[in-house]
Amino acid sequence: ALNLASQFNLENVTLFTKKEESEKKEDSGDVMEIDGASDQSSSLPIDYHLYSKFWALQDYFRRPTQCYDKAAWDVFSKYAKDVLAIFSSYKLDDTSSSSKKAAPTQQQSHQQAQNFFAKYLTSEKLLNLQLNDSNFRRYVLVQFLIIFQYLKATVKFKTQIHTLTEEQTEWLKESQQEVSKLLCETPPHGEQFCNSVKHILEREEHWNSWKNESCPSFIKEKPKEQTKVKPRPKRKRIGDELMASGGKSLKLGHPELTRLWNLNPDNMEACKDESRVFLPKLDDFFANAIDQADPEAMVEEQYKDINHQNFQWKAYRLLARSSPHFFVHAVTPGLPINAHLKDIVDKMAKELNPNQQTEEVKSEVAVAEEDDEIKENNEEEEELKNGEQETTSPKLQFNAEAMQSIAEKLGDSWMKLGEKLDLPADDLAYYKDSSDSSTAAALSMLTVWQELDPDRDTISIVRDALKELGLTSVLESSDSP
């Protein structure tokens, strides 16, 4: 019968002797006599506690859902552990090859092949004999495997509370391995019997999945007849179409692709077409920057294009492609981007508008006029100063001879002095690459560094730096500026 709701046969109750009933039977002398019990008695010690635990497990096999209760689970796991320990401690001998049993005839083997399901007696006097029976032991071990599989299986009619914890799942896994091992060790043909049981349980999993899917039919419906699809016309090869047009037209399978491909028969000429030149001209791109450089425009520095990073990036890319002012040999170290662009804009302004003065030119003219006025107003003071003796204060700058002497004595240590004077590493690398010798590099470094700030005490700064570097010998012949 089909058990759709996964119900259990709760009427199959196993009754066994309680402790009180056993004591009453012994007092009354009503004791079961067992034929051959003295000959077949086992040396395995069996007591009432083991007897009660063993037969109490039948109630869990009958109704496995009670194992999801915490208290019932503790009892079940304890009883199962004790029973499996007894099976493991006492192994059965393989009687299949015993010489006492004659080989069965064909008729006898046919009769033994018929299955017979018996309900075993539960008397405590029979437990020793039952534990020594291989068939009895197999029945109990198979019951363990069945309940283990049910507790782990996904059943459609299980409630949410019917779930196991990780600890319980791990215990089931270990116990299942132990039971399988005991089945393989139980004669006769233990390993073959164990494999058969495993195969049956695997088939049971498929059966359970089929029930969880509401028992779908095993009969497959015939697929509907598919309407015949008209075959597509055979495509022409591109080479055939090109040959048909005489090499003038090429169809690419789409009207728009075909139109774009046939705009120009020569790919290189199509790339050189003026409509594909997207690079702006220098005059148009820098026109606004040149206008902003005019002092009459009165544009503040923060609003000029040359100070914007986006304009600087585009300007440098355009200059690298089109301008002769970009790749030039410069003796001075690198300048900031906005200052470099300002110089380039001034040069372009002079080339484009020679008559128009840029901001730098006009500022130079204004400064020159101011200087002339100052010279005229202070002419008398200048004459008096020229007549006076030289000031007693020592000069603060190195002359050419002293600088040449220091450069020669520095040798390869000129970069240490440059680092001590807080010169950028890029400038030091530039001096090194652009000079033929260390003396020339040191001379260029000292010259540019002194010209950057003429008002500072160059001699004192260099002297202190050399002392800190332990190069005081360099100053012995260059004390006089």
Q: Which domains does the chain have, with CATH numbers?
A: 19-96+118-212 (no CATH), 238-276 (no CATH), 292-366 (no CATH), 400-475 (1.10.533.10)
Q: CA–CA distance from 179 to each of 69, 85, 88, 174, 309 (Å)?
A: 23, 10, 9, 9, 78
pLDDT of residue 115: 58
**Confidence tier at 42 by pLDDT (50, 70, 90):** very low
**Confidence tier at 170 by pLDDT (50, 70, 90):** very high
User: Percent of the chain beyond pLDDT 70?
Assistant: 73
Please give the model's pTM, rounded to 2 decimal places.
0.43
CA-CA distance, 178 to 174, in Å (whole number)? 6
Mean pLDDT lowest among 34-43, 48-57, 405-414: 34-43
CA-CA distance, 80 to 213, in Å (whole number)? 33
Structure token pair of residue 458: 């160059």
Distinct helix (H) and strand (E) counts, the chain = 23, 0
CA-CA distance, 104 to 170, in Å (whole number)? 45
**Confidence tier at 368 by pLDDT (50, 70, 90):** low
Tens digits of residue pLDDT in 444-458: 888 877 777 777 777
pLDDT of residue 480: 45
**Contact status, residue 446 vs residue 403, Cβ threshold 8 Å:** yes
CA-CA distance, 394 to 458, in Å (whole number)? 12
pLDDT of residue 392: 39
Tell me: pLDDT of 198 over 90: yes
Phi-psi region of 411 (alpha: psi -120 to 50; beta: other; left: phi over 0): left
Tens digits of residue pLDDT in 388-412: 444 434 556 777 777 788 878 877 7
**Contact status, residue 157 vs residue 5, Cβ threshold 8 Å:** yes
- Taking Cα atoms as reference points, which of 347, 349, 278, 343 lies closest to residue 314? 278
Cβ neighbors of 365 (< 8 A, separation 6 or more) are: 357
**Confidence tier at 142 by pLDDT (50, 70, 90):** very high
Mean pLDDT lowest among 139-148, 192-201, 307-316, 337-346: 337-346
CA-CA distance, 54 to 146, in Å (whole number)? 17
pLDDT of residue 140: 94
* Mean of pLDDT values over 281-297: 86
Q: Which of 1-15, 60-74, 249-263, 273-287 has the highest mean pLDDT?
A: 60-74
Torsion of CA 146, 149, 151, 153, to 10 degrees: -140
